Amino acid sequence: MSDVILVPAVFRCPDHDNHELLTARVREQVDREAEWFSERSSEVFRVSVVCPGGASDAMPHRRIYDGTWSRAVAASRVA
């Protein structure tokens, strides 16, 4: 769903710099949750995603993130 805003918008592993990958994985899970709660305009979430590790430490591990999503008001354009 493109109308979901995550707060905060970036998720990081405190041990590795995989913020783009982890943020994408969190967004994916929250998008699914937003579909389940489609009647709500905002909701608290807790999701679990896998961090693949880093260059020197390639051991995958699970991270849990908490936050809140809310729906953006879609601005419609008139041509």
Q: Give 23-64 pLDDT, tens digit per residue.
A: 999 999 999 999 999 899 999 999 999 999 887 878 899 999
Residues 6+ away with beta carbon under 8 Å from 66? 44, 45, 46
- Number of domains making up the chain: 1
Domain of 26? 4-71
Q: Is residue 23 part of a domain?
A: yes
Other Cβ atoms closer than 10 A to 18: 20
Q: Is the pLDDT of residue 1 over 60?
A: no
Q: Is residue 16 part of a domain?
A: yes
pLDDT, residue 27, reads 92
Write the DSSP assignment of the chain as a string of letters.
Answer: -TTEEEESS----SSS--HHHHHHHHHHHHHHHHHHTTT-SEEEEEEEEEE---SS----EEEEEEEEEEEPPPPPP--
Q: Is the pLDDT of residue 6 over 80?
A: no
Q: Is residue 77 part of a domain?
A: no
Q: Is the pLDDT of residue 2 over 70?
A: no
Q: Is residue 47 part of a domain?
A: yes
